[in-house]
Amino acid sequence: MHCSNVAEMDFEGTAEAKALKAFSVTSSAFYWPFPFADGDPNAFVHNSRKPDQVDPFPLFNDQVRMHYSSFNFTQEDNFSRLDVDRKAQTITVRVFDRDGRNVVAGDPKAKKPKPIVSVLKLVPW
């Protein structure tokens, strides 16, 4: 599959698991000449807790379960830049096209196209 997205994962089952949070950033390839081989992101599970999309991952003999939500999908040729702000304890993910322009969500010709940006809040360190 050729796409970029961000996923946020949380865990349940034990006190230690509940304290964890993880993120996954997938950045697409710079070039993908085979659009016919792509999956449709609308068909993917986006939130493993929604009743119509239940899809948790059991871990440690099902003592812990990982749930996730994924968002900011794009199938444009692109790259992602991650900016870490230690003071704010965030990672900001920005997606750019092959020419270095922001990839936008929805119609790029809209009056105010919205760049694909994800601000991920980290736990204090």
Higher-confidence residue of 40 and 74: namely: 74
What was the pLDDT predicted at 38?
Answer: 60
pLDDT, tens digit (0-9, with 9 covering 90-100), for 9-25:
999 999 999 998 899 99
Q: Which residue has the tokens 């969500």?
A: 105
Higher-confidence residue of 44 and 114: namely: 114
Asked if the model's pLDDT at residue 79 lies above 70, the reply is: yes
Average pLDDT, the chain: 85
| Average pLDDT estimate for 70-87 | 89
Which three-class secondary structure string do you get for 39-106?
Answer: CCHHHCCCECCCHHHCCCEEECCCCEEEEEEEEEEECCCEEEEEEEECCCCEEEEEEEECCCCECEEC
What was the pLDDT predicted at 55?
Answer: 83
| Average pLDDT estimate for 92-100 | 92
| Average pLDDT estimate for 67-85 | 89
